[in-house]
Amino acid sequence: MRKIFFLAYLTMLTIFGYSTVQAQDINFNESWKFYNAEAKGAEQVTFNDNNWRELNLPHDWAIEGPFDIKYNARAGGLPFHGTGWYRKHFKMNADAKGKVVRMEFEGAMYDGHVWVNGEFIGSRPYGYIGFEFDISKYLKYDGSDNVVAVRLRPQDLSSRWYPGAGLYRSVWLKIDNPIHVGQWGTYITTPTVTKDLAVVQNETVVVNKSKNKVKVNIKQAYFSPQGKLVMSVDEDTNIEANSSYTSELFCNIENPERWDTETPNLYSVTTTITQNGNVVDVYKTKIGLRSISYTSEGFFLNGKKVRFNGVCLHHDNGALGSAVYRRADERKLQIMKSMGVNAIRTSHNPPSRELLELCDELGLMVQDEAFDVWKMEKVPNGYNVFFDEWGERDLKDMIKRDRNHPSIVMWSIGNEIIEQKDAKNGWRVAKKLNAYCKEMDPTRPTSAGFNHSPAPYDNNMAQQVDIAGMNYKPLGYSEIHKKYPQLPLCGTETSSCTSSRGVYHLPIEKYQTHKSLHVTSYDLIGPVWAYPPDIEFHYQEQNPFIMGEFIWTGFDYLGEPTPYGGRDNSTNGYWNDDWPSRSSYFGAVDLCGFPKDRFYLYQSQWTSERMIHLLPHWNWKGMEGKDIPVHCYTNCDEAELFVNGKSMGKRVKGKDLTEIKVVFNNYESNTFQSKYRLSWNVPYKAGNIKVVGYKDDKVVQEEQIFTAGKPIKVSLSVDRKEIHANGEDLAYVTIRIEDKNGNLCPEATNLVNFTVKGAGKLIAVDNGDQTSVESFQGNERKAFSGMCLAVLKSSKIAGEIKLIAKSKSLKSDLIIVKTK
């Protein structure tokens, strides 16, 4: 994307019009009008929108609620369907006439229709894909009012999870000279990358929308991660009138600083188009120099075999809904990195630009996924309604938009598509989609997530992609590999274990559902296809040819509240039988971003820095003298448990096994002897439990949990004490209910009230409780398992944001966040 101009310029745009006509991408997110209902004639310039609500994008109208049983709990129990209108007034100066003016929507949920000055410009049904329209001929350049109107009509039963609603990603106004780089116009690949040399190939589409044949110079300048010019190449060429030209240039970069998961080095490429000695366009692209390859024995990054310690992620950010905030995605990915994650699967749709940029910067590999459905429906109004008309274009546009990101290491053409069972036609659709991928980007492998094993393998569907994704089939890894030894395999969805943070049900049982509508955090409960993480760890070790796994899921997400509410389409698409259960239990992290115990189980397998984690809490009034199962997740050699200072004995990792209850499809035993968790059964007595981790007989880690007394105070902490005063940056404040000694009160549900003063505002609250129907946008929140969350958003004025948290009968607290 070209250089983005600052807010001051946008203000000049909307108030005074344009004073310059250089090639620019201008953020168009401010000062929209919104109306959440049918509005006849709202596309017309003369329509009166004075009473409409004024807001800035990104905007998700559904997250505002309210939660209601009349909405589908499978989609979060929120009002995401219906009609929403957005209108924006703006002015254009005469200087812009003769330029190419385009409007880009990074995402519109969904079935977006766009009008400019009353003229219908076009539509795009798929809410996850970006699109743009050339609006040059529809604009008025005399300084009078221009109006863009957007109508969105999300449908009920159009999604299996919470999709959000509205203009939830950014909108841009792009002003270009007639000669310019086209939309997503660069395609930069690295045919060769070694530690000594990178061969970089650059294909750039230059558009000439003038009426004359032109002669231009196209220059590509490459800058190192430190900003130093390392190479430049150029060419002169002629471009016919009203046509485009694809420039094909390459260069060699010696001793490249390669991109990988540990050192995600990024180069920048500046494409400069010059005509008659005048610069007419400048276009910038970030790239990473790395090589990828794969065989039936594994995946290789820069020649080194790597395993995917991956997570599937839906696109919502909890209490913020689907609205895209860069900091929200950054925090999400940073939390995943701290768990040991090195890969993300964008389940089950094209992600935001911001998420991919962050994966580039953080060193996270990405499986970029296009669809959850093809022609055969999962829900009546799903993408299958649009697939025949739009499937090819949406897939190609996703790849064209995303293919310069070094983080992307494979394309996924679908997830658990129903056509797996169609032996006659399913493989043909897969073949066609795979061909589209190869047409747009032959440098990366393709994949898809298959869950009906062995059908997709025996029906020739899995053979149409480069890497067959196996969903929830750890018992079948060796069988499929033996039968199809040349087919690379990866666990694209694994485990599906469910839990509620801080909740422990005794005795430990493998139940289907619980009357509390919560799920125990002993990490063994899941639906019929699911199993504890330990099972996947075991079978991945037994089958080293498997490329790794993408667990379902990294974070909880809105909607799909398995194991409650319903089963796929067996309840006519509605999952309201266990209301108010309304969001996912699958995450290793809850909706707030607070780690569950399972987070540490994965951390113990996926990280090398010494860690140790102890569960459950130690508040068991009424259980005195009765055995409490105590589990420890660690990557230390040994762990020793102490109860009130008395040793309960050492356990050796990998030798002392923990029996866990396991029931899932095709698993013959009801238990599994896990070497991945250590355990003790100890009589409960108030006080404290402590676990000590040893490496080579030396103490390297320890953790202690105290029996908490009665709640005394509210305690605040913040993820960052200083944020940007740009009107977009976020600070996440964690609220804990503590006793007099600062111990978390693990069963506290106190209501906390918030007051915000200064250079920002409170935009969301949450507590991670999958059954709460409290508003995400109020100024209060009950604690869940002793904790809740407040999200602050900066204004555009530098200063301080002061958050004060109060709760009846408790000592209050405040925190100050500086904005600069």
pLDDT, tens only, 500-510: 999 999 999 99
Residue scoring higher pLDDT (625 or 3): 625
Q: What is the CATH number of domain 180-287?
A: 2.60.40.10
Torsion of CA 350, 353, 356, 358, to 10 degrees: -150
The model's pLDDT over 517-564, given as tens digits with 9 standing for 90+, comes to: 999 999 999 999 999 999 999 999 999 999 999 999 999 999 999 999
Q: Is 42 helix (H, G, I), strand (E, B) or coil?
A: coil
Amino acid (one-letter) located at 516: S
Confirm whether 416 is a catalytic residue.
Answer: yes
For the chain, give the mean pLDDT: 95
Please report, for residues 54, 265, 340, 700, 702, the alpha-carbon distance to residue 611 in angstroms, rounded to integers and kept in the order given.
Answer: 49, 28, 12, 8, 8
Give the C-alpha separation, 282 to 603, whole Å. Answer: 44
Residues of the chain within CATH 2.60.120.260 domain(s) are 7-60+83-153
- Contact 318/558 with Cβ under 8 angstroms? yes
Please report, for residues 28, 41, 159, 295, 562, the alpha-carbon distance to residue 119 in angstroms, rounded to integers and kept in the order given.
Answer: 20, 12, 30, 52, 45
Model confidence, pTM? 0.96
Q: In the predicted model, is pLDDT for residue 22 greater than 60? A: no
In the chain, % helix, strand, coil (3-state, to 5) comes to 15, 40, 45
Please measure the distance between the N-terminal and C-terminal CA atoms of the chain and give it in whole angstroms: 25
Give the C-alpha separation, 326 to 169, whole Å. Answer: 11
Give the C-alpha separation, 1 to 186, whole Å. Answer: 10
pLDDT at res. 2 = 46
Residues of the chain within CATH 2.60.40.10 domain(s) are 180-287, 612-706, 713-819
The yes/no answer on whether domain 612-706 falls in CATH 2.60.40.10 is yes
CA angle 97, 103, 105 (to 5 degrees): 175
Q: In the predicted model, is pLDDT for residue 570 greater than 80? A: no
Nearest 5°: phi and psi at 384? -55, -30
Q: Region 197-201: what's the mean pLDDT?
A: 98
Q: Could you please report the per-residue DSSP string of 420-477?
A: GG-TTTHHHHHHHHHHHHHHH-TTS-EEEEE-STTHHHHTTSGGGSSEEEEES-GGGH
Please report, for residues 132, 241, 248, 278, 794, the alpha-carbon distance to residue 182 in angstroms, rounded to integers and kept in the order given.
Answer: 11, 15, 15, 19, 34
Give the C-alpha separation, 107 to 353, whole Å. Answer: 10
Q: What is the CATH number of domain 298-606?
A: 3.20.20.80
β-pairing verdict for 638-643 and 688-695: antiparallel
| pLDDT > 70 fraction of the chain, expressed in percent and rounded | 96
Confirm whether 624 is a catalytic residue.
Answer: no
Q: What is the CATH number of domain 7-60+83-153?
A: 2.60.120.260
Of 43, 106, 132, 416, the active-site residue reads 416
Of 354, 493, 560, 738, the active-site residue reads 493
- Contact 752/806 with Cβ under 8 angstroms? yes
What b/e readout covers 11-32, taking b as 16+ CB neighbours within 10 angstroms? Answer: eebeeebbeebbbbbbbbbbbb
pLDDT at res. 566 = 75
Q: Could you please report the per-residue DSSP string of 326-361?
A: HHHHHHHHHHHHHHT--EEE-TTS---HHHHHHHHH
pLDDT at res. 805 = 98
**Number of neighbours of residue 674 by Cβ within 10 angstroms:** 23
| pLDDT > 90 fraction of the chain, expressed in percent and rounded | 94
pLDDT at res. 568 = 62
What b/e readout covers 693-703, taking b as 16+ CB neighbours within 10 angstroms? Answer: bbeeeeebbbb
pLDDT at res. 569 = 55
Q: In the predicted model, is pLDDT for residue 465 greater than 60? A: yes
Q: Which two tokens stand for residue 363?
A: 């060193």
The model's pLDDT over 38-57, given as tens digits with 9 standing for 90+, comes to: 999 999 999 999 999 999 99
CA angle 182, 185, 188 (to 5 degrees): 165
Amino acid (one-letter) located at 679: S
Give the C-alpha separation, 41 to 46, whole Å. Answer: 9
Q: In the predicted model, is pLDDT for residue 1 greater than 70? A: no
Q: What stretch of H or E contains 401?
A: helix 384-402
Q: Is 603 helix (H, G, I), strand (E, B) or coil?
A: helix
Strand positions, DSSP E, 501-616: 548-551, 612-615
Q: Is 597 helix (H, G, I), strand (E, B) or coil?
A: helix
Give the C-alpha separation, 297 to 544, whole Å. Answer: 7
The side-by-side arrangement of strands in the sheet containing 229-239 is: 229-239, 214-223, 267-275, 278-287
- Categorize the per-residue pLDDT at 700 as very low, low, confident or very high, splitting at 50, 70 and 90: very high
Nearest of 7, 8, 147, 6 to residue 85 by alpha carbon: 147
Give the C-alpha separation, 334 to 457, whole Å. Answer: 36
Q: Is 408 helix (H, G, I), strand (E, B) or coil?
A: strand
- Contact 393/370 with Cβ under 8 angstroms? no
Q: Is 585 helix (H, G, I), strand (E, B) or coil?
A: coil
The side-by-side arrangement of strands in the sheet containing 304-306 is: 292-295, 298-301, 304-306
Q: Is 366 helix (H, G, I), strand (E, B) or coil?
A: strand
Nearest of 691, 682, 684 to residue 638 by alpha carbon: 691
Q: Region 383-387: what's the mean pLDDT?
A: 96
- Contact 448/411 with Cβ under 8 angstroms? no
The model's pLDDT over 67-82, given as tens digits with 9 standing for 90+, comes to: 999 999 999 999 999 9
Nearest 5°: phi and psi at 86? -125, 135
Q: Range with the lowest mean pLDDT among 2-16, 204-218, 736-750? A: 2-16
- Contact 127/182 with Cβ under 8 angstroms? no
pLDDT at res. 9 = 34
Q: In the predicted model, is pLDDT for residue 17 greater than 70? A: no
Spell out the alpha helix ranges (H) of 1-80: 7-16
- Contact 501/596 with Cβ under 8 angstroms? yes
Q: In the predicted model, is pLDDT for residue 12 greater than 50? A: no
Q: Region 206-215: what's the mean pLDDT?
A: 96
Give the C-alpha separation, 469 to 494, whole Å. Answer: 10
β-pairing verdict for 799-806 and 119-124: unpaired
- Categorize the per-residue pLDDT at 23 as very low, low, confident or very high, splitting at 50, 70 and 90: low
Class of domain 713-819: mainly beta
